[in-house]
Amino acid sequence: MASAPASEPTVDAPLLTRLRGLRPTLSPAEDRVAHVVLADPRQAAGLTISELARAAETSETSVLRFCRRLGLRGYPQLRLGLAEAGARSRTVGEDTDFREGDTIDDVVLKVAAANASAVEETAEILDRRALEAAASAIAGASRVDVYGIGASAVVGTDLQQKLHRIGTVAFAWNDPHVALTSAALLGHGDVAIGVSHSGATIETVEALDVAAGRGATTVAITNFPLSTLATRADHVLATAARETALRSGATASRIAALTVVDCLYIAVARRDPRRATTAVAETRRAVEGHRVEDGSPTGA
């Protein structure tokens, strides 16, 4: 079982990022407040508590509960936080989905803004202590298993390849049955990493549970710090990507997770830089003969 399950996103994380991480756990009334706030933070900052309650079709009491869920003392702190969020120059609105009438330029700008925001906000909220603890466990592990299904399998494979390049014995599994059988063979001193944007992918949760039951250290990479996957892990590395109905599985979520993967990889490598540098050099030499030297096609 997890020794230090996640509780809530850190209070010092950006307000809107914190809210998105909490949103799946909000009550229906609180979620309506969240919808109004995320739709236009700057406008919401100018509303009185009564006006926000009316806009969200709820009560002032629900608004206050909403504030407390965010770790705020009261409504004035919410208004201040929303004003600051609205003033951020690179804040991307809640509606980053494509709409009828969007030009191709709109499409490019929306995608680029969402992806850039995912990287920046993930860097802001990433728990440094959890990252260091996960890196320490991986660096000392005899074996590392990475579980990810669907789009998360891409992230899992990237992590496995990076760790493998620096001499860490790592495997990435995207088949649920193979993942479970592999997890059943782990033990103390091993590490299991579950990757799931939602943190609710049953197959990934099951594999992490089995690994934990065998005594392995568990790590979750997810967008939602209060998700099922997060609560089952010893260490939680949270991302901050936004997905909407049309863009479910969007590149932004993978880019955010890949940012965490890169940070984790470097954090592991820096624990023994000489070994990591040597391993990368040796693996690079191993594939040198499979590259075209002058950059032009070979053959007739």
Q: Which domains does the chain have, with CATH numbers?
A: 10-91 (1.10.10.10), 125-287 (3.40.50.10490)
Question: CA 175, CA 181: separation in Å to the nearest integer?
Answer: 10
Contact 171, 160 (CB under 8 A): yes
Q: pLDDT by residue (tens digit) across 83-130?
A: 887 666 444 444 456 667 888 998 888 888 888 888 988 998 999 999
What is the Cα Rg of the chain in Å?
Answer: 21
Judge whether residue 43 has pLDDT over 70.
Answer: yes
| In the chain, % of residues over pLDDT 70 | 86
Question: CA 114, CA 263: separation in Å to the nearest integer?
Answer: 20
Contacts of 119 (CB under 8 A, 6+ apart): 255, 256, 259
Question: CA 209, CA 197: separation in Å to the nearest integer?
Answer: 17
Q: pLDDT by residue (tens digit) across 47-62?
A: 999 999 999 999 999 9
Whole-number mean pLDDT of the chain?
87
Question: CA 206, CA 177: separation in Å to the nearest integer?
Answer: 10
Q: pLDDT by residue (tens digit) across 223-272?
A: 999 899 999 999 999 998 876 555 544 688 899 999 999 999 999 999 99
pTM of the model: 0.80
Contacts of 167 (CB under 8 A, 6+ apart): 275, 276, 279
* Residues 284, 289, 290, 295, CA torsion sign: positive
Confidence of residue 44 (pLDDT cuts 50, 70, 90): very high
Identify the pLDDT of residue 5. 43
Contact 184, 177 (CB under 8 A): no
Judge whether residue 274 has pLDDT over 80.
Answer: yes
Question: CA 84, CA 97: separation in Å to the nearest integer?
Answer: 24
